[in-house]
Amino acid sequence: MQHNIVETAREAGTFQTLLTAVDAAGLGETLADGGPFTVFAPTDEAFAALPPGTVQGLLADPPALVRVLTYHVVPGRITSAEITHDSEQKTVEGGVLTIAVNGSVTVNDATVIQADVEAENGVIHVIDRVLIPAA
């Protein structure tokens, strides 16, 4: 049996910071019950690579946190098989992600390090950097 996006991320064990942020932003229920979604999920290492204080600052500013998190989510299920050429994808946040295919797949300045983690209500692509929407 497949799990929803939140359960799938929790089971992976490498998204503790992301899950903490999702809970703090009040997005857990949406990501668990809504969809389908494509989530570009930064690892704990990606969050740790942000400038010191960034994560704490976001956790203390729920509206900014929601913007950053929803910038990682695209409506619909987009698998790696469907990412065959450069494209732009509109995010739930309203911004646009630039996806480039050049041997590897990049999303803005992040690289997809694991594609197609299937969930009941979407798909997760693991990325190595946190995406920050334009101000």
pTM over 0.85: yes
Listed in sequence order, the residues at least 6 apart from 51 whose beta carbon sits closer than 8 Å to its beta carbon are: none
Enter the CATH code of domain 5-127: 2.30.180.10
> Closest Cα partner for 9 from 127, 109, 133?
127
Which residues face 42 on adjacent strands? 127
Helix axes 5-12 and 16-25, enclosed angle (nearest 10): 150
In the block, tokens 């309203």 appear at 94
pLDDT tens series, the chain, 135 aa: 689 999 999 999 999 999 999 999 999 999 999 999 999 999 999 999 999 999 999 999 999 999 999 999 999 999 999 998 999 999 999 999 999 998 899 999 999 999 999 999 999 999 999 999 987
